């Protein structure tokens, strides 16, 4: 008999409902389905012995991971594991602890009662009352963990995220001296990957010169994503501009005295005292080797989790059967283990969304096709649905870039015969598929920018068919040494914009690295325009190099064409690619039969930005009703 669980009662304000949709694509249908799937996974989990299953608790993890159930499961595992292996940092978090009582009552760490301009909750840190002769780093971490647990309870924090504000003007040498490298690493690497919270920004205010080395150590322990959210500012005016001033303590330019705000936090801690203490009753099985967490890195925490996703039984009670080769099963850089249970559940849910979609008129719903989108978006159903919408809408609004992918077409033949661009047959050192382009072989007096984009899109379609690309991602290598002026002149800002804004948000592909080799000075302006259209994530993966040394170290040199240090001549690579395209041609051409309804204003896509593509999608998630 199926267990009965509580039903989530939505008490969100209209403002938060809108932010939940805008930030997370959250609605009642998504919540219900995700909670059901999340609970089923927890019930079958071989290591979780005791855990809350109520909606309010589980939604913390689902919202943090934008309703990707596999990511939420992994975050829950890390949360439970960290509490188990670091009891000194998590046990009995309450104001009964004299150190916690002192640090919160004096306002050393506060959860402010009012949100910032963007609706995010704000946590402030002030080391002035931190007496290093009385309190240790463990005391500081425990007080911070209590504040983070309080933030966890607030649905606003779950939906909008939190902001950290550090008043570094009161930093002292004795305070910095308490924090060893190991303690700093353990603290930052613990909370940033353990707590179900979305960290929106970090403000370091009035940083003294003597704290630069210490601050760099703290920054170095953060993930690249969080480092991008750091703001080092000289005064409070910068913080007021971003967050608003009235919400802050009086000594930071706000309205209420710090001690009055501290009193509110203490009242909140007392109100939720029993709920936070009950978290100590959770239990997860960990290996003995993982109980000594003192000098570990993230890898040690990961090993404590024991790769449980792979060993989950299916709902029928049978163990999952992996149908992918071991070399391709691990989704590199995603920290997700794909298994049969995950695939079948996600595909079923994805199909249901498509069937109820008010705008999608014709679409493939076979597992092979849908997995392209699910894998690209780490099995987050809302993100995969939106990517599919983008894909169908782009093909509908930009037919001149997507139609006539026939390999026998004269324009396509030209690019293949001249070895302009091709997908290499061998993967790189990390199992990623590599697309190689030699811009010197593109003749700007013969080919057009439109034809070049069509040929590139043919390559992207081919890559999306390949499970290796879906699982391990794609690397592009573009040699620019022999690029001609006529070819460079083809690339107007409009063509660059259409190309970039199309493929980076349209194709179900995970571009891991993009190498540009031997870039001549005369194309710098064009390249900067191209780069300006990339997302921040894509910019971070863009590598401009002078030679193939770095590429050789990262992907290996043997797989490249012989003319660039490899073993097989470019002509042979291009012929081999043409043969593979012919085999895949029927499936690629059949994509033209798919259809989605778009607004008339979106049909002329020539000069638009992402916002125009988004209007073509018509916010369809809101209108999907799943029984």
| Rounded (10°) angle between helices 367-376 and 340-355 | 100
Percentage of residues of the chain with pLDDT beyond 70 = 87
Q: What pLDDT digit, counting tens, does each position of 272-327 carry?
A: 999 999 999 999 988 654 444 443 334 433 333 333 333 333 333 322 223 333 33
Unique residue bearing structure tokens 């490298």: 181
Rounded average pLDDT over 488-511? 86
573-577's contacts with Cβ under 8 Å and 24+ in sequence apart are 573/419, 573/422, 573/424, 573/425, 573/436, 574/416, 574/417, 574/419, 574/422, 575/416, 576/422, 576/425, 577/416, 577/422, 577/423, 577/425
Residue 252 shares a structural domain with residue 393: no
pLDDT on residue 223: 84
The domain total for the chain is 4
To the question of pTM greater than 0.85 for the whole model, the response is no
Q: Classify 211 as helix, strand or coil.
A: helix
**Is residue 36 pLDDT above 80, yes or no?**
yes
Q: Classify 28 as helix, strand or coil.
A: helix
pLDDT on residue 514: 95
Residue 146 shares a structural domain with residue 77: no
Residue 33 shares a structural domain with residue 132: no
* 533: in domain: yes
Residue 379 shares a structural domain with residue 441: no
DSSP E strand stretches across 262-401:
283-284, 330-331, 336-337, 360-362
* 459: in domain: yes
* 204: in domain: yes
pLDDT on residue 2: 54
Nearest alpha carbon to residue 84 among 44, 49, 45:
49
Residue 476 shares a structural domain with residue 369: no
Q: Please, are residues 444 and 404 in contact by the beta-carbon 8 Å criterion? A: no
Residue 396 shares a structural domain with residue 407: no
* 611: in domain: no
Q: What pLDDT digit, counting tens, does each position of 406-434 carry?
A: 898 898 999 999 999 999 999 999 999 99
pLDDT on residue 368: 94
Residues 6+ apart with CB under 8 A from 108: 125, 126, 127, 128, 129, 130, 140, 143
CATH number at residue 198: 3.40.525.10
Tell me the residue range of the domain where 204 lies: 93-280
Residue 395 shares a structural domain with residue 407: no
Rounded CA separation 363/355 (Å): 9
Secondary structure (DSSP) of 266-278: HHHHHHTHHHHHG
**Is residue 178 pLDDT above 90, yes or no?**
no
**Is residue 509 pLDDT above 80, yes or no?**
yes
* 359: in domain: yes
Residues 6+ apart with CB under 8 A from 294: 182, 186
Going by DSSP bridges, is the β-strand pair 511-517/542-545 parallel, antiparallel, or unpaired?
parallel
CATH number at residue 359: 1.10.8
* 285: in domain: no
For residue 130, CA distances in Å to 89, 104, 139, 572 come to 18, 10, 10, 68
Q: Please, are residues 300 and 186 in contact by the beta-carbon 8 Å criterion? A: no
For residue 335, CA distances in Å to 24, 303, 307, 324, 563 come to 21, 12, 10, 17, 36
Residue 80 shares a structural domain with residue 103: no
* 43: in domain: yes
Going by DSSP bridges, is the β-strand pair 283-284/230-233 parallel, antiparallel, or unpaired?
unpaired
């Amino acid at each position: 008999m199926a267990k009965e669980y509580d039903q989530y009662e939505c008490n969100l304000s209209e403002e938060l409902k809108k932010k939940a949709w805008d930030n997370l694509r959250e609605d009642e249908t998504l919540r219900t389905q995700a909670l059901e799937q999340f609970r089923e996974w927890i019930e079958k989990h071989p290591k979780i012995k005791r855990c809350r299953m109520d909606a309010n608790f589980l939604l913390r993890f689902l919202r943090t991971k934008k309703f990707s159930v596999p990511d939420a499961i992994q975050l829950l595992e890390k949360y439970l594991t960290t509490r188990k292996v670091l009891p000194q940092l998590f046990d009995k978090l309450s104001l009964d602890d004299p150190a916690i009582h002192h640090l919160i009552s004096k306002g050393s760490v506060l959860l402010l009662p009012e949100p910032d301009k963007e609706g995010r909750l704000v946590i402030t840190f002030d080391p002035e009352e931190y007496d290093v002769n009385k309190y240790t780093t463990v005391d500081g971490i425990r007080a911070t963990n209590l504040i983070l647990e309080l933030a966890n309870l607030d649905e606003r924090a779950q939906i909008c995220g939190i902001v950290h504000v550090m008043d570094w003007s009161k930093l002292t040498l004795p305070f910095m001296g308490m924090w060893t490298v190991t303690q700093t690493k353990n603290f930052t690497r613990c909370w940033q990957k353990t707590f179900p919270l979305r960290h929106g920004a970090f403000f370091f205010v009035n940083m003294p010169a003597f704290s630069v080395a210490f601050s760099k150590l703290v920054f170095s322990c953060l993930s690249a994503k969080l480092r991008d959210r750091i703001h080092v500012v000289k005064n409070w005016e910068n913080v007021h501009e971003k967050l608003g001033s009235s919400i802050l303590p009086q000594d930071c330019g706000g309205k209420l005295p710090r001690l009055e705000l501290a009193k509110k936090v203490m009242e909140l801690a007392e109100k939720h005292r029993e709920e936070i203490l009950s978290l100590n009753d959770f239990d997860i099985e960990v290996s003995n080797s993982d109980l000594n967490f003192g000098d570990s890195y993230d890898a040690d925490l990961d090993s404590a989790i024991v790769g449980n996703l792979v060993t989950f039984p299916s709902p029928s009670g049978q163990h999952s059967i992996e149908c992918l080769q071991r070399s391709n099963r691990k989704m590199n850089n995603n920290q997700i283990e794909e298994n049969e249970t995950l695939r079948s559940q996600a595909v079923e849910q994805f199909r249901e969304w498509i069937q109820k979609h008010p705008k999608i008129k014709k679409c493939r719903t076979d597992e092979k096709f849908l997995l392209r989108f699910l894998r690209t978006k780490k099995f987050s159903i809302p993100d995969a649905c939106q990517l599919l919408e983008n894909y169908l809408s782009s093909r509908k609004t930009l037919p001149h870039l997507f139609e006539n992918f026939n390999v026998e077409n004269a324009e396509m033949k030209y690019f293949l015969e001249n070895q302009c661009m091709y997908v290499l047959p061998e993967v790189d050192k990390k199992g990623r598929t590599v697309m190689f382009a030699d811009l010197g072989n593109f003749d700007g007096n013969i080919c057009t920018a439109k034809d070049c984009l069509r040929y590139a899109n043919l390559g992207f379609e081919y890559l999306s068919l390949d499970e290796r690309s879906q699982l391990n991602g794609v690397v592009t290598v573009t040699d620019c040494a022999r690029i001609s002026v006529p070819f460079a002149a083809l690339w107007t800002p409009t063509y660059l914009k259409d190309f970039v804004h199309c493929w980076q948000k349209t194709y179900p592909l995970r571009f891991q690295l993009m190498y540009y080799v031997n870039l001549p000075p005369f194309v710098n302006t064009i390249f900067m325009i191209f780069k300006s259209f990339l997302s921040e994530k894509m910019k971070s993966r863009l590598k401009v190099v002078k030679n193939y040394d770095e590429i050789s170290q990262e992907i290996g040199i043997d797989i490249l064409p012989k003319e660039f240090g490899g073993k097989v001549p470019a002509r042979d690579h291009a012929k081999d690619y043409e043969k593979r395209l012919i085999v895949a041609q029927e499936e690629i051409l059949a994509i033209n039969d798919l259809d989605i309804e778009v607004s008339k204003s979106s049909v002329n896509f020539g000069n638009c930005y992402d916002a125009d593509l988004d209007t073509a999608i018509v916010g369809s998630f809101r209108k999907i009703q799943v029984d």
